Amino acid sequence: MQKLREYLHWWILGALCAGTVLAWYAVFSEDRDGKLIVAFLDVGQGDAIFIESPTGTQMLIDGGPDKSVLRQLGKIMPFYDRTIDMLMTTNPDKDHFAGFLDVLRSYKVGAVMEPGTVGAAAEYAALEKLIEERGVKKLLARRGQKIQLGGGAILEIFFPDRDVSGLNTNEGSVVAKLSYGATSFLLTGDTTRAVEGYLAQLDGARLDVDVLKVGHHGSDTSTSDSLLGFVSPAFAVISAGKDNRYGHPNKEVLARLARFEVPMLGTYARGAIVFVSDGETVRLRK
């Protein structure tokens, strides 16, 4: 009995020490020091962008084509963090939403935002059913909405500006601008050159950003001269799978980026691409 008491004493002491270490780990790992984190995750042939505001609000824009998004989230989120404030589907094609099925089963999600286009894949119906079963709030993305992420970080919807239920998934794709202080990111989903031209007419210089998420994985359907003339980013990011069957990124798109002297980074070459903004400058995390 005495040995049992001694064993129990040391076990409790060890548990308390472990708890203290874990608490301090949480404090230091979440000391954001006024920084915005934007991570273009390596999910193969698809899109997934993780955003964490200076106050810790987390948003995942697109979920990639499969459960590989979970592995990527595990690299950038603390292991004990099992909540994500908002998911956004920029368009209901599998390479943008299928990973959300696993995210919803693994994390507590506050809300889901969608463009209003309709996905044809069976997985899309399964996702909508899972959102309903989990009681997650659904929001419709519309131009002019401003999502306050905290600490001065704001995500503003530029498109859709109308009912897009009758459009194809790319034409109705969400286009949004993430701003923090003097820094900004243009997130284009799979938007088309026609929509890019439309936004160039509507927004002009408001499209000027530090980082451009190149539309449609570098397909020639996106990234027009009219867009690049206004955006003038310091970095362009292409999210695509290595040696993918679509030939992304398109050589003509790469040539246009080169002509506008925009440095290009690809997840197919670098893996996850993480930017950190202090509100004044954007730096690429090594």
pLDDT in tens, 107-148: 999 999 999 999 989 999 999 999 999 999 999 999 999 999
Dist CA 201 CA 114 (whole Å): 24
Categorize the per-residue pLDDT at 85 as very low, low, confident or very high, splitting at 50, 70 and 90: very high
Architecture of the 32-284 domain: 4-Layer Sandwich (3.60)
Domain ranges of the chain: 1-31, 32-284
Mean per-residue pLDDT, 178-186: 98
Residue 12: what pLDDT?
Answer: 53
Amino acid, res. 177:
K
Categorize the per-residue pLDDT at 5 as very low, low, confident or very high, splitting at 50, 70 and 90: low
Mean per-residue pLDDT, 76-91: 97
Amino acid, res. 41:
L
Q: Which two tokens stand for residue 121?
A: 């894949």
Residue 33: what pLDDT?
Answer: 84
The b-or-e profile of 157-192 (16+ CB within 10 A means b, else e) is bbbbbeebeebebbbbbbbbbbbbbebbbbbbbbbb
Amino acid, res. 73:
L
Residue 273: what pLDDT?
Answer: 98
Residue 9: what pLDDT?
Answer: 55
Q: Among residues of the chain, what percentage have pLDDT more than 90? A: 87
Dist CA 128 CA 69 (whole Å): 19
Mean per-residue pLDDT, 152-166: 97
Residue 87: what pLDDT?
Answer: 98
More confident residue, 27 or 212: 212
Closest CA to 149 of 85, 205, 206: 85
CB atoms within 10 A of CB 260: 16
More confident residue, 20 or 194: 194
- Is the per-residue pLDDT at 166 higher than 70? yes
Residues in CB range of 120: below 8 A, 6 or more apart: none
The b-or-e profile of 193-210 (16+ CB within 10 A means b, else e) is bebbebbbeebeeebebb
Residue 1: what pLDDT?
Answer: 55
Residue 27: what pLDDT?
Answer: 42
CA dihedral sign of residues 33, 38, 44, 46: positive
User: What is the pLDDT of the chain when averaged over all its residues?
Assistant: 92
List pLDDT tens digits, range 244-260.
999 999 999 999 999 99
Mean per-residue pLDDT, 162-180: 97
The phi-psi region of residue 238 (left if phi > 0; otherwise alpha if psi is between -120 and 50; otherwise beta) is beta
Alpha helices in the chain (DSSP H): 2-29, 68-76, 94-97, 100-106, 122-133, 193-203, 225-231, 251-259, 267-270
List pLDDT tens digits, range 13-51.
454 444 444 444 444 445 558 899 999 999 999 999 999
- Is the per-residue pLDDT at 57 higher than 60? yes
More confident residue, 2 or 285: 285
Full-model pTM? 0.90
Q: What angle do CA 174, 179, 180 make, to 5 degrees?
A: 150
Dist CA 27 CA 224 (whole Å): 44
Residue 2: what pLDDT?
Answer: 56
